C-alpha cells in the first residue's frame, strides 16, 4: 500500500489519505467493505490516530467512505464527476471510468413534437420524433433515466433500431452519418418522484440531478433533446475554476 514519508512537506494526514485513496481505487477494498479500525490503520502507517482520523474525514468529505457510529468505516461507491468536458455518450463516459455500461429500454415510440420539443429541435409542432427512454446502468447498478427526443427527418430509420446496450451516438454516427459536435446542457437539483425512485433503487424524494441537453451537428442543426434524471448519490458536479 505504501508508507508515509515524514521528511516530505506534505502533511501526514494528506499522505495517508492519498495512500488509502489509491488502495480504494485499485480495488483493494470493494464497495461496502469495512476498512481496518483507526488503531490498526495508525499501526499500519506508523502515525497517530488523530492523523488517521483527519485522513478518514477527508475521504468521507470526498465521498469515498462513510463512517457509521458504532459500526466502523466502509468504502462507498465512487461518484462520477460531471462538469465541463468533451461531448460523449453515457457509454463512453462510463468507459472513461473503466466501468461497464448497459441500458434497458423503457420506452421507444414515434410521437409528434409538442411546442417545447419543437423549439429545442427547431421543428414544426406535429413533426415526427422518436422518443427513447432508457434506464442507464453501470456495472449492473441503476445510474439514471434518460429520455431522448430525436428528429426523425434526419434519421428516418431510427425507429426500427434496437438500443439495448448500444450507444445511441454510435448508431447515429455509423448508420446515419450524424456526428455530435457540441451540446448545451443545464442541470437542476430535484427530488426523485416515486416512479423514477423505484427504477433507480432509491427512496422517493431522494436528491437527484435533473438535466436537459440539446445536441447539435457540425453545421449547427439540433438533432437530440434529452431529459435526464441521475442519482444524486452517484454523481457530483465538478468545475475547474481559474482567476485571471
- The count of C-alpha atoms lying within 13 angstroms of the C-alpha of 212, restricted to the half-sphere facing its C-beta, is 8
- Rounded CA-CA distance 138/244 in Å is 38
Q: Which of 87, 222, 89 lies closest to 154 in space, CA to CA?
A: 222
Cα 200–Cα 205–Cα 206 angle in degrees, nearest 5: 60
Give the confidence band of 86 by pLDDT, cuts at 50, 70, 90: very low
**Lowest-confidence segment of 55-64, 133-142, 144-153 by average pLDDT:** 55-64
Cell numbers found for residue 46: 506508523
Tens digits of residue pLDDT in 148-163 = 999 999 888 898 888 8
Among 12-16, 78-82, 139-143, 171-175, the least confident range? 78-82
pLDDT digits (tens, 9 = 90+) for 115-125: 999 999 999 99
Could you state, in order of their start, the residue ranges of all structural domains in the chain?
A: 12-75, 81-237
Q: Tell me the β-bridge partners of 137.
A: 102, 142
CATH match for 12-75 among 3.40.50.150, 2.60.120.620, 1.10.10.10, 1.10.1740.10: 1.10.10.10
Closest residue by Cα to residue 186 from 231, 226, 220: 226
pTM over 0.85: no
State the Cα torsion 53-58-61-62 to the nearest 10°.
-140
Contact 35, 52 (CB under 8 A): no
Supply the mean pLDDT for the chain: 83
Among 95, 81, 110, smallest CA distance to 230 is for: 81
Superfamily the domain 81-237 falls into: Chorismate lyase-like (3.40.1410.10)
194-212 pLDDT tens trace = 999 999 888 888 888 898 9
pLDDT for the residue 79:
56
Question: In terms of C-beta distances under 8 Å and separation of at least 24 residues, what long-range contacts does 133-136 make, across chains too?
Answer: 133/105, 133/106, 133/107, 133/108, 134/103, 134/104, 134/105, 134/106, 134/163, 135/103, 135/104, 135/106, 135/199, 136/90, 136/101, 136/102, 136/103
Q: What percent of the chain has pLDDT over 70?
A: 85
Q: What is the pLDDT of residues 153-194, one digit of tens each?
A: 988 889 888 887 778 888 898 999 998 888 888 888 889 999
Amino acid at each position: 500500500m505504501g508508507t508515509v514519508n515524514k521528511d516530505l512537506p506534505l502533511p501526514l494526514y494528506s499522505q495517508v489519505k492519498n495512500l488509502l485513496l489509491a488502495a480504494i481505487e485499485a480495488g483493494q477494498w470493494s464497495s461496502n467493505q469495512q476498512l481496518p479500525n483507526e488503531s490498526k490503520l495508525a499501526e499500519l502507517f506508523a502515525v497517530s490516530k488523530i492523523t488517521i482520523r483527519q485522513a478518514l474525514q477527508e475521504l468521507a468529505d470526498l465521498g469515498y467512505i462513510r463512517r457509521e457510529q458504532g459500526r466502523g468505516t466502509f468504502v462507498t461507491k465512487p461518484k462520477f464527476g460531471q462538469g465541463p468536458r468533451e461531448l460523449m455518450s453515457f457509454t463512453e463516459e462510463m468507459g472513461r471510468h473503466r466501468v461497464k455500461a448497459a441500458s434497458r429500454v423503457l420506452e421507444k415510440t414515434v410521437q409528434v413534437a409538442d411546442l417545447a420539443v419543437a423549439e429545442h429541435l427547431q421543428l414544426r409542432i406535429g413533426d415526427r420524433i422518436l422518443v427513447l427512454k432508457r434506464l442507464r446502468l453501470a456495472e449492473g447498478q441503476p445510474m439514471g433515466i434518460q429520455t431522448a427526443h430525436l428528429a426523425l427527418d434526419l434519421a428516418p430509420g431510427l425507429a426500427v433500431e434496437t438500443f439495448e446496450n448500444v450507444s445511441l451516438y454510435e448508431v447515429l454516427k455509423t448508420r446515419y452519418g450524424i456526428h455530435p459536435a457540441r451540446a448545451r446542457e443545464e442541470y437542476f437539483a430535484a427530488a426523485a418522484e416515486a416512479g423514477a425512485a423505484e427504477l433507480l433503487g432509491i427512496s422517493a424524494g431522494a436528491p437527484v440531478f435533473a438535466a436537459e441537453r440539446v445536441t447539435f451537428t457540425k453545421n449547427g442543426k439540433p438533432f437530440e433533446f434529452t431529459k435526464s434524471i441521475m442519482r444524486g448519490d452517484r454523481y457530483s458536479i465538478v468545475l475547474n475554476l481559474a482567476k485571471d
